[in-house]
Structure 1
Amino acid sequence: MEIGLNKYVKLGLVILLSVGSILFTQEMKLLKNPESTPVTSMTIIGLLILWLFSMLGILVSDLAKKSRIKVIQDFPVLGWVSIASLVFCLVSDFFINAISAVDFLSITTPILTYAGISVADRLMDLRKISWKVAIVAVLVFIGTYLGSALLSQLGLFITGN
């Protein structure tokens, strides 16, 4: 039991570090742009709620791995986190109000940083795959950019701007 508890403590601390970096990012954004989302007590509560949803998702994922149903065993942790947050946000508007006090861009900046570090850690593996992956990546980036630009233009056209 201690090994399992130790795992949750480590994961909880890592997620707490992530929440701290989100708070730091929101503070830095506030210094640069004073009109952006201020850091209030509701922001701290929102970050703690996000931490709680993450921990609940991890716990449910571990419990689901003991299930006999393969689909439930293989369901990703991110899916369980999303379901936990969806259920709680449907139950009470308090969760929505608390999370909305956290600036969205302050959340995405650390996440993209962690994703970049994760990919950079596996550059040797990417080298072994093939140079064709680079071509596919460039085409995906171009397609995503063009798709976003077309949707934005359509939105502007519909609204008359």
Structure 2
Amino acid sequence: MAQGLNKYVKYGLVLLLSIGLILFTQEIKLIKNPEGTPITWTTIGGLLVLWLFSFIGILISGLVKKIPVKIVQDFPVLGWVSITSLVFCLMSDTFIHLIQGVDFLSITTPILTFAGISVADRLVDLRKTSWKVAIVAVFVFSGMYVGSAILAQIGLHLSGQ
């Protein structure tokens, strides 16, 4: 029991570190662009709400691992966090108002950093994959870029711009 509790304390602290990095990133962005989203008590509240949603999603993910249904057990943590966020934001506009105080680009920077660290931690596994994976990745990234550009152009055209 103590081992499981210890794991969740560690998750909570990692999420707290992430929140700190988001706040730091938003402050640095304000130095470079003073017209950006200012840091207010709403920002702090929004970060705490994001921490809470993430932690609840992690708890749900841990709890459903005990359910003997494979689909539920294999459902990713990100999915549980998203569902938790969606349910709470549908219940109250307060959560949405608080989260709007957090700059979106300030959130993406730490997330991409953590993703890079997790990939760098598995470089040995990455080297074992075939070189063909790199070719597929280039086509996937290019296709996503072109597809996004086409959708954006359609959106601009429909809005009359």
TM-score range (shorter-chain normalised) is over 0.9
Q: How many residues align?
A: 161
1:55-76 Cα deviation digits (max 9, x unpaired): 1111111111111222222211
- Pairing of 1:1-161 with structure 2 (within 5 A): 1-161=1-161
Q: Quote the Cα distance in structure 2 between the aligned partners of 1:73 and 1:137.
A: 28
Gaps of 5+ in 2: none
Q: Give, in whole Å, the separation in 2 of the partners of 1:75 and 1:6.
A: 23
In structure 1, what is the Cα distance between the partners aligned to 2:3 and 2:123? 32
Letter in 1 for 2:137: A
- TM value normalised by structure 2: 0.95
SS in 2 for 1:34: coil
SS at 2:102 equivalent: coil
**Residues 114-159 of structure 1 deviation map (CA, whole Å, 9 limit, x = unaligned):** 1111112222211111111111111111111111111122222222
Tell me the TM-score normalized by structure 1.
Answer: 0.95
Q: Which one-letter code corresponds to 1:88 in the other structure?
A: F
Structure 1: give runs of 5+ residues left out of the alignment.
none
Identity of aligned residues (%): 72
